[in-house]
Structure formats: C-alpha cells, structure tokens
Homo-oligomer: A and B are copies of this chain.
Amino acid sequence: MPAHDPVVDSPEPLGRRERRKLATRDRIVTCAVDLFASRGYDATTMEDIGECADVARATVFNYFARKEDIVLEWFARRRAELAEIIAEAEQQTTDTASRLRRALGGLARLYEADPVTVRAMVRAWLRAGGPLLRDGSDAPAMLADILRSGQQQGDIRPDLDAARAGLLIFDAYFAVLYRWVSDEDGSFALDENLLATLDLVLAGMTRGSSVECNPAAVRP
C-alpha cells in the first residue's frame, strides 16, 4: 500500500484544503455507489454522480478520470479493510490456516452486513470489465505474504509457490463471491461457502494437516 494512499489515514494532520478534498472524494464515491445500486452501472453518468455530490461533472472527472475508477476505489477501500482484518488476525491466532479463515470470514461478515451495496458493486465491477481490468489489486499478494509467514513458521508446505497459492485463494474467494451475488433467493451463505472452499484449497497447502497421514481419521 503506498504511503499516501487516500484510502488509509495519513499519520500527519491534514490541512483544511486536503480535508475538503477528501470529503468531496468520499461524497463522490458514496453517491456513485448509491446510483450504481439504484440505477445500475451503465445507466449512471458522471453528470448524475456530480449532481448527487453537488459538484460539476468536470470536478468528478478531476477526482476520477473514468467511471470504472470509482468502482476500483471502492474495492481498494475493501482491500484496506482486509489488511486491517489480517493485521488483527495475526495478533489473535497462531497458525496460518486460522489466520486465513479469520481474514476471509471477516470479509464475509463485512459483505453480509450490506449485501445490497456489495452486490451492486460486484455487478458494476463486472460491467466495467471485471477480471479483465488491470486494477493492480494487492489482495493476492497479501494472501501470499500470509502463506510465506506460514512457511517460515513451519505450518505451510515449504515447497509451495506462495504467489500462485495466493492467487488461487483469491480466485476461489472471488468465485464464491460471484455465486453469492447471483443468488437471487438469498439461500447461499457467503461465510459458510467461503470457509468450506478455503479449507478445500488449504488441504493441499498446510503441513501436518493432511488427512493422508492419518487415514483412520477420515475413513468411516
């Protein structure tokens, strides 16, 4: 995360001008999210967003060159939250699998607290190009770092390609998120499915947890 990322709090106190700029930026993002949720991404124009945020269309463009950049900012804010959840999980748990379970479980609870917004933003992200956007997401790298710590700690396979494994966990997580977003009747539990999928992925990554070494534990 860059030191002056607008998403995270700056350690230095901000001047009045900077505070006002951040407030305008926040208002633009909030308005865009509300409009994407109510009208859909395609039907929302930069003009609509400016009107809602009480700024000129040109001002919206000063903050976000393209409409998709607002979507990416929203996801960057979620990643900042993920980083916080990971930092907490690192203090509270000792083994790597539990850390990852806490990280994804925490994200699931965050999403389940505001499903309308999250569903709208995932839909918006897909309309904007979705997995084909080069958004420079550092979420797979964050997950890879957790796995690398686990390799040093000794509970993750030393021969594991941590970068590829971080991508796999991220991809599996996103695929479950898609299923939750497209679940119209709300019967698909995000946290339960995320954790079950994570366990499936982790089964090949952890040391000592493999059922193969203790067949008696799984055979009826």
Taking Cβ atoms with an 8 Å cutoff, the residues of A that contact B are 123, 126-127, 129-134, 157-161, 164-165, 167-168, 171-172, 174-176, 178-179, 181-182, 196-197, 200-205, 207-213, 215, 218-220
Contact = CB atoms under 8 A, between A and B. Distances in A.
Contact of A218 (B157, B200, B202): B157
User: DSSP majority for the A interface?
Assistant: helix
Contacts of A205: 200, 203-204
Q: State how many copies of this chain the complex holds.
A: 2
Contacts of A131: 126, 130, 175, 178-179, 182
A130 B126 contact: yes
A208 B215 CA distance: 10
Contacts of A172: 168, 171-172
A176 to B, nearest CB: 8
Contact of A165 (B126, B174, B200, B209): B200
Contacts of A203: 203-205
